[in-house]
A and B are shown apart, each in its own frame.
Chain A
């Protein structure tokens, strides 16, 4: 499986965020997107997710499921956690697992994988920022998708949780997955390609 972008351009709110951006990402590889604030890291991830239309250029996935769009084969971990504060931790995850088409059986295992199994019945309102982030990560564990789009995945995570995230990412890459991550800090991935944004302007 290979994700290829050629000469992408993105215009948001009338401002050109980036242009002439090309990269290729193969199976089992991670691409770390870096750059100053406003360089278009989040825009690039949203563009790959299909949430923003490219102003120019092509995005193609080789070896994926031809019936599905790239976004439908991807997990997007954005700045917002997509959690409902009125629902419990378990209900929040069970909804996304059910909605994204995986079996209910994986919910408890995924909560255990991110260390939230003791809080399953707690309303998400009472979670800390780091715990909310971990609950979002549990979605990536419970539902299999070949492409992970991670926007600042380490934000609000403590050192232990950052190690956990690095382990999850390594497991995903070993299984032939792709990771596209926007970050300011180190992710703990040894062999990651880097894409610097902001240099082209």
Chain B
């Protein structure tokens, strides 16, 4: 347990120190969402209707932004070798890293979403629904991204391949995240139906992500 706490604390510290990715994700989210009203124009009805989708797309891209640092940084400075050799199961170490990544980049997005909802003319109920779906869905993005991050490290390819690998896998999360938010705002489907599937997707990726990432890293040993 101390080993996992150690890696969690270290990654959180690194994220908030100089050169860390914590603030970058939120700022990118802010910029993407701010750009949309400029691109679409001041049509308040239209903005409110597509608002949840824009918040979700922004969160998806912001999560992706910091993903290539998740494992690659540890590979560059040799830490990954020691993590691979340690008695701590690699799956758990990777899960702790992904959790730290979500706490430092995913959670701030959830907190920032209500603020950005104002820019998109979302009423309080709609904003709350989007924030709730983001809170339930962004861990899935991080843990799916963990697989991509491990694969790109194992294949010795950079972050560009990562986006192409990860984005298609996040489509179900995006669909049910936006569907749940829209269900809460306009109906007619009850909120619980897509939201339950979203939670299931998150739970599945939390289970599968660390195992798949560990397999990828072990296969890539050289």
Q: Which residues of A contact B (CB under 8 A)?
A: 12-13, 46, 49-53, 68, 71-72, 74, 76, 78-84, 86-87, 91, 94-96, 98-101
Contact assessment for B20 and A71 in the assembled complex, using a CB-CB cutoff below 8 Å:
no
| Distance A13 CA – B222 CA, assembled complex (angstroms) | 9
Number of B interface residues in the complex (CB < 8 A):
27
Interface residue? B188 (CB, 8 A): no
| Distance A68 CA – B14 CA, assembled complex (angstroms) | 30
Contact of B78 (CB < 8 Å), options: A80, A87, A94: A80
Interface residues of B in 109-157 (CB under 8 A from A): none
Contact assessment for A76 and B79 in the assembled complex, using a CB-CB cutoff below 8 Å:
no
Contact assessment for A76 and B87 in the assembled complex, using a CB-CB cutoff below 8 Å:
no
Mind listing 18 A-B residue pairs with CB under 8 Å? A49-B85, A50-B85, A51-B84, A71-B84, A76-B81, A78-B81, A80-B77, A83-B77, A84-B10, A84-B14, A87-B10, A94-B6, A95-B10, A99-B10, A99-B82, A99-B83, A101-B3, A101-B88
Number of A-B contacts (CB under 8 A): 81
Query: What distance in Å separates the Cβ of A10 from its nearest Cβ neighbour in chain B?
Result: 10
Interface residue? B39 (CB, 8 A): no
With A82-B77, A99-B7 known to touch, is A76 a contact of B14 (CB < 8 Å)?
A: no
| Distance A13 CA – B20 CA, assembled complex (angstroms) | 33
Contact assessment for A82 and B14 in the assembled complex, using a CB-CB cutoff below 8 Å:
no
Contact of A87 (CB < 8 Å), options: B17, B81, B222: B17
With A51-B81, A52-B221, A76-B81 known to touch, is A99 a contact of B17 (CB < 8 Å)?
A: no
B222 neighbours in A (Cβ, 8 Å): 12-13, 52
With A98-B3, A99-B7 known to touch, is A87 a contact of B86 (CB < 8 Å)?
A: no
Q: A80-B76, A99-B10, A99-B86 are in contact. List 6 more A-B contacts (CB 8 A).
A: A76-B81, A80-B77, A82-B82, A84-B10, A95-B9, A99-B82
With A87-B13, A91-B13, A95-B10 known to touch, is A74 a contact of B221 (CB < 8 Å)?
A: no
